[in-house]
């Protein structure tokens, strides 16, 4: 263990396990060694706060570590990982209300409730986030335009504060803290109990159909025409293609089945029906697919894969709608375990960042088209592009707008890093000038000045005041806080 890290672990907890580990963002492009504490109860969370105070070190909260950038990293202190604090405390099959400890993953949640005829109202593209990490980021799904974020599905939570207090928050009790801690990236306190409303479903399958737009405009028009009746809409974009076909791609729409439409719901609602197959085409183990993808993880290879996907999408869009399991549709990215390893596995040097600007509807087509064009001109073409439609929500630091996001995966290598960050800075200027926003769960590049340009002034001032009240000695501070929050939290604008 490096000498500097040994000093982090001097005063030890009698109960909470602690280990020095390499802690990285999901995209692997950022990481650092840190001492990680894994409490299993509210008492142990408070003990971790006391320990950090005693050692005079800042602490960051961490769930499943699925944020692409530095949201749950701490290169200058301790990490409190709440993923082992993970029991489902209650589920009411009459109302669909789930009461959960913070470390319950989305996977554990759906596996518990689906056999009883429920599905989480909001899920991310992967099932591995914890509910606390999801609530702290205020995640959205492919149905954001229709049902809002996970915060909209949250009825109540308990929050352990560094000040020592433990508060229950809802829309009617400690309402400010409720709206600030959801989407507050773990900077006000640690969720210790979360109550979520889930959705009644009548089948373990959804009905899926595909459309294959030839341009970004066609894709956006399709979303607008179908968003009132479609339960889920998501668009994949071939970012390599320019000219008249810029923004071409594939849309997937999914709808819940009505009662009676599935003749065997007792079969499809079983977890076994949802499980993704262990082998691709019945033979090739999916655990090894990332190695094959790695062979194509360069510009010519990804150009070819994107083109092939577009052609396959055109064929798919001619076929009739088909049924797919909820998990198969929602968690497509989990189909290939550890696909990110295709980007290279050398700590901190190789990996990917995701850049996901959210742009208001009126400017979205122009800004997203310009972003794709600039990426191509700069020679940094995203290997994956995903378009979603969003709606605003009441949470103080929300990323959501009445508009569109485009999530772009960029490859990071030591030789590309500086140029890529420079390109992102230029794109950020474009997005902010159009009234756009960013999402800290995906971000690795913006700074506190950028954040202060898109967060509403009154919300920043109110958040800074709550931070002083809940965390008077700034115990909750990680890499994201130092990069994108500290400046405006310590010097908030006049409301």
In angstroms, give the least distance from the CB of 376 to ligand FAD.
24
If the CB atoms of residues 137 and 470 are measured against ligand FAD, the closer one turns out to be 137
If the CB atoms of residues 68 and 240 are measured against ligand FAD, the closer one turns out to be 68
In angstroms, give the least distance from the CB of 185 to ligand FAD.
4
d(CA 213, CA 310): 10
10 Å Cβ neighbour count for 266? 11
| CA-closest candidate to residue 76, choices 475, 466, 380 | 475
If the CB atoms of residues 25 and 313 are measured against ligand FAD, the closer one turns out to be 25
In angstroms, give the least distance from the CB of 198 to ligand FAD.
17
Position with the least CB separation from ligand FAD: 133
d(CA 162, CA 181): 13
If the CB atoms of residues 129 and 148 are measured against ligand FAD, the closer one turns out to be 129
Task: Give strand pairing partners of 206.
Answer: 256, 324
Answer whether 460's CB lies under 8 Å from 488's CB: yes
If the CB atoms of residues 53 and 126 are measured against ligand FAD, the closer one turns out to be 126
| CA-closest candidate to residue 16, choices 38, 31, 32 | 38
If the CB atoms of residues 117 and 129 are measured against ligand FAD, the closer one turns out to be 129
β-strand 358-360 against 322-325: which pairing, if any?
unpaired
If the CB atoms of residues 211 and 387 are measured against ligand FAD, the closer one turns out to be 387
Kindly list the distances between the CA atom of residue 433 and the CA atoms of 359, 363, 367, 390, 443, in Å, as whole numbers in the listed order.
10, 10, 10, 19, 18
If the CB atoms of residues 136 and 216 are measured against ligand FAD, the closer one turns out to be 136
In angstroms, give the least distance from the CB of 283 to ligand FAD.
25
In angstroms, give the least distance from the CB of 103 to ligand FAD.
7
Residues that bind ligand FAD (CB under 6 A): 26, 60-67, 71-72, 82, 102, 124-126, 129-130, 132-134, 136-137, 139-141, 185-186, 190-191, 333, 441
d(CA 32, CA 161): 26
In angstroms, give the least distance from the CB of 33 to ligand FAD.
17
263: burial class by Cβ within 10 Å (0-12, 13-18, 19+)? exposed
If the CB atoms of residues 48 and 381 are measured against ligand FAD, the closer one turns out to be 48
| CA-closest candidate to residue 130, choices 170, 85, 92 | 85
In angstroms, give the least distance from the CB of 183 to ligand FAD.
10
d(CA 124, CA 117): 20
In angstroms, give the least distance from the CB of 424 to ligand FAD.
18
Residues whose CB is less than 8 angstroms from the CB of residue 309 and which lie 6 or more positions away in sequence, other chains included:
236, 238, 250
Answer whether 348's CB lies under 8 Å from 394's CB: no
Answer whether 299's CB lies under 8 Å from 293's CB: no
In angstroms, give the least distance from the CB of 46 to ligand FAD.
13
d(CA 410, CA 338): 17
In angstroms, give the least distance from the CB of 73 to ligand FAD.
9
If the CB atoms of residues 71 and 455 are measured against ligand FAD, the closer one turns out to be 71
Let me know the angle formed at the C-alpha of 306 by 215 and 318, rounded to the nearest 5 degrees: 60
192: burial class by Cβ within 10 Å (0-12, 13-18, 19+)? buried
């Amino acid at each position: 263990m490096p000498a500097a890290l040994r000093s982090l672990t001097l005063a030890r907890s009698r109960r909470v396990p602690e280990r020095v580990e390499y802690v990285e963002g999901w995209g692997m492009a950022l990481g650092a060694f840190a001492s990680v504490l894994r409490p299993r109860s509210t008492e142990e969370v408070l003990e971790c706060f006391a320990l950090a105070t005693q050692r005079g070190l800042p602490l960051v909260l961490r769930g499943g570590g699925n944020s692409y950038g530095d949201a749950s990293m701490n290169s200058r202190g301790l990490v409190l990982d709440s993923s082992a604090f993970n029991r489902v405390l209650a589920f009411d099959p009459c109302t669909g209300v789930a009461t959960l400890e913070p470390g319950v993953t989305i996977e554990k949640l759906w596996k518990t409730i689906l056999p009883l005829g429920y599905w989480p109202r909001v899920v991310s593209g992967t099932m591995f986030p914890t509910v606390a990490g999801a609530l702290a980021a205020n995640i959205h799904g492919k149905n954001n335009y229709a049902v809002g974020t996970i915060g909209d599905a949250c009825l109540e939570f308990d929050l352990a504060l560094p000040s020592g207090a433990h508060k229950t928050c809802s829309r009617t009790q400690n309402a400010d803290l409720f709206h600030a801690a959801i989407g507050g990236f773990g900077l006000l306190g640690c969720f210790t109990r979360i109550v979520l409303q889930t959705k009644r479903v009548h089948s373990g399958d959804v009905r899926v159909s595909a459309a294959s737009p030839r341009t970004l405009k066609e894709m956006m028009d399709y979303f607008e025409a179908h968003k009132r009746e479609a339960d889920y809409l998501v668009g994949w974009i071939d970012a390599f293609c320019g000219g008249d076909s810029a923004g071409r791609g594939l849309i997937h729409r999914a709808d819940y089945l009505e009662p009676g439409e599935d003749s065997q719901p007792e079969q499809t609602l079983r977890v076994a029906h949802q499980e993704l197959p262990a082998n691709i085409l019945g033979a090739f183990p999916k655990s090894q697919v990332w190695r094959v993808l790695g062979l194509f993880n360069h510009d010519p290879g990804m150009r070819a894969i994107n083109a092939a996907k577009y052609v396959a999408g055109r064929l798919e869009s001619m076929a009739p709608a088909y049924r797919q399991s909820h998990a198969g549709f929602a968690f497509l990215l989990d189909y290939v375990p550890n696909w990110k390893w295709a980007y290279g596995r050398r700590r901190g040097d190789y990996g990917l960042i995701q850049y996901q600007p959210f742009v208001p509807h009126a400017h979205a087509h122009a800004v997203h088209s310009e972003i794709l064009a600039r990426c191509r001109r700069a020679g940094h073409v995203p290997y994956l592009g995903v378009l979603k439609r969003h709606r605003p929500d009441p949470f103080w630091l929300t990323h959501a707008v009445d508009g569109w996001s485009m999530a772009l995966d960029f490859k990071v290598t030591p030789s590309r890093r500086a140029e890529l960050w420079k390109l992102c800075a230029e794109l950020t200027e474009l997005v902010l000038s159009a009234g756009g926003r960013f999402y800290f769960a995906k971000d690795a590049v913006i700074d506190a000045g950028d954040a202060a340009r898109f967060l509403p002034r009154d919300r920043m001032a109110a958040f800074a005041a709550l931070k002083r009240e809940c965390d008077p000695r700034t115990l909750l501070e990680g890499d994201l806080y130092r990069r994108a929050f500290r400046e405006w939290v310590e010097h908030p604008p006049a409301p």
